[in-house]
Structure 1
Amino acid sequence: MILTVDVGNTRIKAAVFEENNVLENFVFEKNELEKKIKKILEKFQNCSDLVVASVGNIEKESFLTFENRLNVHFFTHEDVFPFHNQYATPKTLGIDRMILAAGATLQFPKKNRLVIDAGTCITYDFIDENDNYLGGAISPGLRLRYESLHQFTAKLPLLTFEEPENYVGNSTKQAIHSGVVNGFVYEIDGFIDEYRAEFSNFIIILTGGDAEFLAKRLKNTIFANSNFLLESLNQTFQYKIDND
């Protein structure tokens, strides 16, 4: 069994895999890391490897405390990946984006793939049908959009996500919800349209905390999987073992 851990900007997600089968998923706060992993390992005592991808500010020592129980692995830019990295600044490419690109390459061979991860930020990652990672885009996620409207204006309130009642917001509150939520959806559909216009044999993979919400609203056909990063982490680890 393998325990995969994704340390994001906001929360930590984890999953236990037996080969490619997910046995259980977990979501918890960063300050709960050691306590939660201890409980997971008590429940799944046959875990042999702990595989970590981190973009958050968790110290490695928090994971290394479990080295006496299983093998601990941290993905870095030096690891082997199943795509050719054409990014102009490869060392600055987030490990989470590299894992997503690897998962898309392994799960959907010989296709043009666009991976959209809608979390704290929205990231777009494009891997062509020849397994070249070409890059993508980064923009603010839903929460950041609400927060920026409040922090960088004098009077706009800080709101949390709420579905707009109408495209035409008839109050400041509804205008903010319409602008943030509809703008979020229009942006993603617009990016997808641009890629579709240029590339055929195309698949879109949507993941992240807001994937379920978006899947119902995007006009484009997508493959939605909120756990795609954890699944990709497991598959990329298997690829690493086979190709090191």
Structure 2
Amino acid sequence: MVLTIDVGNTRIKAAVFEGDSVLGKFVFEKNQLEKKIKNILEKFQNCSDLVVASVGNVEKQSFLTFEKQLNIHFLTHENAFPFVNKYATPKTLGIDRMVLAAGAVLQFPKQNRLVIDAGTCVTYDFIDESDHYLGGAISPGLQLRYETLHNFTAKLPLLELEVPESYIGNSTAQSIHSGIVNGFVYEIDGFIDEYRRNFSNFIIILTGGDTDFLAKRLKNTIFANSNFLLESLNQIFQYKIDND
């Protein structure tokens, strides 16, 4: 069994795999890390490997506490990935984006792929059918847009995510919801349309915390999987074993 852990900007996600089957999924706060790993290992006592991808601020020592129980693998830029990295600044490419790109290559071979990860930030990552990672885009996620409007203005309130009643907001609150939610959806659909104009044999993979919310609202056909990063971590681990 393999325990995969994704340390994000906001929360930690984890999953236990046996082969390609998911045996358990978990979401928790960073200050719960060691306690939650201990609980997971008590439940899944046959776990032999821990695979970690981290963009959040968590000390490695928190994981190394379990090195007597598990083989621990920290993914870095030095690992082998199943694509050619054409990013102009490859060392600055987030490890989470590299994992998503790898998962897209391994799950959807010989296609053009756009991976959209809608979390704290929304990232767009494009890997062509020749397995060349070409780059993408980064913009604020939904919650960050609400917080930014509130934090950088004098009077706009901090609101919780809500589906706007109309694209014409008839109050300040409804105007904020319309601008943020509709603007976010239009942005993603706009990016997808642009890629579709330039590439054929194309698949769009939507993942991240806002997957379910967005999947119902995008006009484009997508493959939606909120656990794609965790699954990709498991696939990279298998890829590493096969290519060592």
SS of residue paired to 2:175: helix
1:224 and 2:208 correspond: no
**Structure 1 position 242, deviation (Å):** 1.3
Per-residue CA distance 1:114-157 (angstroms, 9 max, x = gap): 00000000000000000000000000000110000011111101
Deviation at 1:7, TM superposition (A): 0.1
Aligned residue type for 1:102: A
User: Quick one: distance in 2 between partners of 1:97 and 1:211?
Assistant: 16
Q: Report the equivalent of 2:44.
A: 44
- Residue type at the aligned position of 2:153: T
Partner Cα separation in structure 2 for residue 64 and residue 165 of structure 1: 49
* 2:86 equivalent in structure 1: 86
Q: Deviations over 1:77-101 (max 9, x none)?
A: 0000000000000000000000000
TM-score by length of 2: 0.99
SS of equivalent residue, structure 2 residue 136: strand
Is there any run of 5+ residues in structure 2 with no aligned partner, and where?
none
- Asked whether 1:188 is paired with 2:193, we answer no
Measured in 1, the distance between the counterparts of 2:131 and 2:193 equals 21
Q: How does 1:83-232 map to 2 (within 5 A)?
A: 83-232=83-232
What aligned pairs does 1:4-83 form with structure 2 within 5 A after superposition?
Answer: 4-83=4-83
AA matched with 1:231? E
One-letter identity of the residue aligned with 1:166:
S
> Partner of 2:116: helix, strand, or coil?
strand
Aligned partner of 1:238 in structure 2 is 238
Structure 1 CA distance for aligned equivalents of residues 243 and 60 of structure 2: 25
Aligned partners of 2:181 and 2:19: how far apart in 1? Answer: 38
Question: 2-side partners of 1:95 and 1:237: how far apart?
Answer: 14
Query: Amino acid of the residue matched to residue 182 of structure 2?
Result: N
Structure 1's unaligned 5+ residue stretches are none
The secondary structure found in structure 1 opposite 2:96 is: helix
CA distance in 2, matches of 1:155, 1:214: 28
Cα distance in 2 for residues equivalent to 1:80 and 1:240: 7
Quote the Cα distance in structure 2 between the aligned partners of 1:146 and 1:243.
44
- The Cα RMSD (Å) is 0.4
- Identity level (%): 83
Structure 1 runs of 4+ with >2 Å offset: none
Give TM-score scaled by structure 1 length.
Answer: 0.99
Q: Report SS of the residue matched to 1:232.
A: helix
Could you tell me which amino acid in structure 2 is paired with residue 37 of structure 1? I
CA distance in 2, matches of 1:202, 1:105: 12
Distance 2:235 2:128 in 1: 19
- The count of aligned residue pairs is 244
Q: Give distance in 2, aligned partners of 1:51 and 1:29.
A: 18
